[in-house]
Structures are given as structure tokens and as C-alpha cells.
Amino acid sequence: MPRAATGAIRCIVGIGNPTDQYANTKHNVGWWVVDELASRHNVHMKRERLRAIYGRGRIGGLDIVLAKPTTYVNLTGDAALRLAIFFGIKPSEFLVVLDDMNLPTGQIRLRRDGSDGGHKGLRSMIQTFGTMEIPRLRIGIGAPEGRGGGVDWVLTPFDKETMPLIQDAVKRAGDCIETILKDGLEIAMTKYNG
């Protein structure tokens, strides 16, 4: 398989929690996007080692690893480090897909680097790799009413009214990632950050 050019994205990591208990929760939107890409590009997510479920395939003519860490959100960095060592991937060659309470439901936002924005999975990766230069695609899940309640919020399913917005966001996130792999981060940011 052709490898990506140096500095290009080589691994898409969807942050989420394993087990059926969390499968439909807001915190697992990153997993949903990885599943969307796997379905579109016939990537078999069969391997379960390196503390992740992962598969390899071609997207945009490039050799890409799709991964869903099985470490639970707070320890995402552990799985990412194992993937990095095994496949020889630099932090800047990851694209992390995660939920974000700071964005309106269904909005997506792509960034080349930056802080963790309060997300413990992204924080784990930043701490593990010792750099904030990890590209990320955030999917807005909205915030609970009032102060606090964030943990309960991310561990509950979407309601009937917001689920169509999230389903659309997952598809747009898949489109965005395909654009990143074909045309690069800058073009994708211009096109999808609204």
C-alpha cells in the first residue's frame, strides 16, 4: 500500500468508551465517525490489540489506520502511544475525532493543534505525547442546562430531536476526513469550519 507523505494524516483515532453500555452515548461520537469511514471504505475493524480495535485500509489512495481505543476515554493516550510505536506514527500524523460540549449540537470544527478544551481523552493524548500538535476534529454535542453535569451528560444517549443533527454531523465528519486525506488540513478547515 502507498504510504502517506511525511506530515500527512496516517491514523484516525475515534475517542469513545468500550462495551455496549456506552455504545450509544454522546462520548462515543468519535467511534461513530470511525465506523462511518470503515463502512465507506470497506475497512475491516477486526483487530483488537494495542488496546484498540483497529483496521487498515485505503482512503484517498493512502494507507490509513482507523482505530477505536478500548482504554476508556481518560486513558486514550495509552492506546494512541501503542499505535504510534507499532505503526511508526508521529503525534502530528494522528487525527483525533471527539465529542465537544463547547460546540452546538451537530457542529464540527477541525484544528491542527491546541489545548484539550476540557476533553479528558484529548488531554490524555497531549500528556502522553508531550505536545499539543495533534490534529483534531471536534463534533458538537451541546451542553447540559445550568452548571455542572458534564459527566452525566456525555454518558447519556442523544434524544430524538438531536439525533438527526448528530447523524448528519457524523456524515459531514466523514466527508471532512476524506477531504483532509485528499487535499490537506488547510483546505478542509476552510471548507468545513463554519
- Burial class of residue 191 in the structure, from the number of CB atoms within 10 Å of its CB (0-12 exposed, 13-18 middle, 19+ buried): middle
Q: Closest Cα partner for 9 from 190, 163, 149, 189?
A: 189
Active-site position among 27, 41, 44, 119: 27
Q: For this structure, is 41 an active site residue?
A: no
Say what angle helices 76-87 and 120-129 make with each other, to 10 degrees.
Answer: 40
Q: Which residues pair with 111 in a beta bridge?
A: 136
- CA–CA separation, 134 vs 125, rounded Å? 8
For residue 35 the three cell numbers come to: 465506523
Q: SS3 string of 83-120?
A: HHHHHCCCHHHEEEEEEECCCCCCCEEEECCCCCCCCH
Residues noted as catalytic: 27
